[in-house]
Amino acid sequence: MSYSAVDVIRAKRDGEALSDAQIDWVIDAYTRGLVADEQMSALAMAVFLNGMDARETARWTRAMVRSGERLALDVGRPTVDKHSTGGVGDKITLPLAPLVAACGAAVPQLSGRGLGHTGGTLDKLESIPGWRAQLSVDEVVEQLRSVGAVVCAATEGLAPADRKLYALRDVTGTVESIPLIASSIMSKKIAEGASALVLDVKVGSGAFMKTVERARELASALVSIGVDHGVRVSALLTDMSVPLGRAVGNAVEVEESVEVLRGGGPADVVELTVALAREMLSAVGIDADPARVLASGGAYEVWARMIRAQGGDPEAPLRRGAHKHVVSAPESGYLVSLDAYAVGVAAWRLGAGRARKEDPVQGGAGVICLVKPGEPVVAGQPLLELYTETPEAVAGALAALEGGYSVGGAEAASAASAGRGPLVIDTVRP
């Protein structure tokens, strides 16, 4: 049966639930170019304003999966993936994929690029000399069999409807719609073919979801879609009010990830990596201790093989931006706050991120957080190091950091620390 795009738009505009047939038709017609961008923009805004119920969201996801191919990952190991909703300093995929592979699973991590203040996994890895993001389906399968982990760009054939709609949402102010976010994430992950999926849903100033309530709503929608499609899904709600680790950027985050893989690194990065690894291994029935494997350095061996398999040199030195600017403590005391969003925007303005998908990024741009909240400082002590290839970008980065950090006395630091919750806030399961 054929429908009119205008009729579908009107139905959702007027608060009606779309039928399965209407959803199937409009996603297929949009993918094939029979529904114009301006019509899909109007429908996306109607969804943003009036929402979709669980049945509509599941069907919307199913239609986007069916717009392309679905991978069959017969690789001799149980397959499990992880997805993060995006944060500042969120380098967790880099140590996590090889760690879970070192514990016996296969991790098909099809990742994306950064946009705005949140970093992209592919941008980080492309700071490694020779590393390539684009792999064929055959290369993905072979690497999963031989190495156990792959981090690469999604193939063109996976959920093409989502690729078109995502780009449209980004320029029409409809990104924050929970049904559209959930269907976008899950359509790609279901098409990818992993048997289980663990979601890292970020909460806080540096995340798209600013409150625990909104994050839990998104997590519940994602888990529900997974159940509907026969994929084992769970979600961790994790704090993104302070940058993860001390490095925010591209090459600097790879450096920090390697520290973690060698058994060191910042405590929060290690904590979240291990927590997600435990959830992933539990989802596929593997009884292993990821904390022990990580501390032993065993995951680094898988990392090195994974990077080499994609043309990179894991031992190559990583270059930081040639221009360095230091932000110093204005007084003695304790670092009371360090806002994730402010640091993320600063790194973006230094060249670590992009405003448009086609913009290039600087591999060496970024911010090093030398001090984290709760740690003591003396007046004039360096707090942050800013790196860039374009010195004229520093002024914009400093403007972004205004009000983004504060130094105070022990009482203020203690109160701020008491107000911060745990790194892993909650877990949402079916």
314-348 pLDDT tens trace: 999 999 999 999 999 999 999 999 999 999 999 99
Virtual torsion, Cα 179, 181, 183, 185, nearest 10 deg: -160
Do 249 and 366 form a contact (C-beta atoms < 8 A)? yes
Q: Do 37 and 129 belong to one domain?
A: no
Q: Do 293 and 362 belong to one domain?
A: no
Its pTM stands at 0.92
Q: Do 330 and 311 belong to one domain?
A: no
- Residue 345, Cβ neighbours under 10 Å: how many? 22
- Residue 45, Cβ neighbours under 10 Å: how many? 18
Dist. CA 85–CA 209, nearest whole Å: 9
Report yes or no on 424 lying in a domain.
no
List the pLDDT tens digit at each of the 430 positions of the chain: 678 999 999 999 999 999 999 999 999 999 999 999 999 999 999 999 999 999 999 999 999 999 999 888 889 999 999 999 989 999 999 999 999 999 999 999 988 777 667 778 999 999 999 999 999 989 999 999 999 999 998 888 888 999 899 878 877 888 889 999 999 999 989 998 889 999 999 999 999 899 999 999 999 999 999 988 889 999 999 999 999 999 999 999 999 999 999 999 999 999 999 999 999 999 999 999 999 999 998 999 999 999 999 999 999 999 999 999 999 999 999 999 999 999 999 999 999 987 766 678 999 999 999 999 999 999 999 999 999 999 999 999 999 999 999 999 999 888 888 778 899 999 999 8
The CA-atom distances, in angstroms, between 168 and each of 180, 186, 356 are 12, 18, 12
Report the CATH number that the domain containing residue 357 is assigned in CATH.
3.90.1170.30
Number of domains in the chain: 3
Do 206 and 245 form a contact (C-beta atoms < 8 A)? no
DSSP at 206: T
Where does a domain end: 294, 316, 338?
Answer: 316
Dist. CA 406–CA 67, nearest whole Å: 49
Q: Do 41 and 107 belong to one domain?
A: no
Report the CATH number that the domain containing residue 13 is assigned in CATH.
1.20.970.10
**Domain, as residue range, for 355:** 323-418
Q: Do 43 and 186 belong to one domain?
A: no
Q: Both tokens of residue 268?
A: 């929060």
What is the per-residue pLDDT for 419?
78
Q: Do 368 and 398 belong to one domain?
A: yes
Virtual torsion, Cα 304, 310, 314, 317, nearest 10 deg: -170
DSSP at 350: I
Which contiguous run of DSSP H or E holds residue 202? strand 196-203
Amino acid at 74: D
What is the per-residue pLDDT for 357?
64
Do 78 and 232 form a contact (C-beta atoms < 8 A)? no
Report yes or no on 74 lying in a domain.
no
- Residue 116, Cβ neighbours under 10 Å: how many? 16
Nearest to 303 by CA among 292, 289, 313: 313
Q: What are the catalytic residues?
A: 83, 162, 169, 184, 188
Report yes or no on 72 lying in a domain.
no
Nearest to 379 by CA among 414, 325, 333: 333
264-323 residue pLDDT tens: 999 999 999 999 999 999 999 999 999 999 999 899 999 999 999 999 999 999 999 999
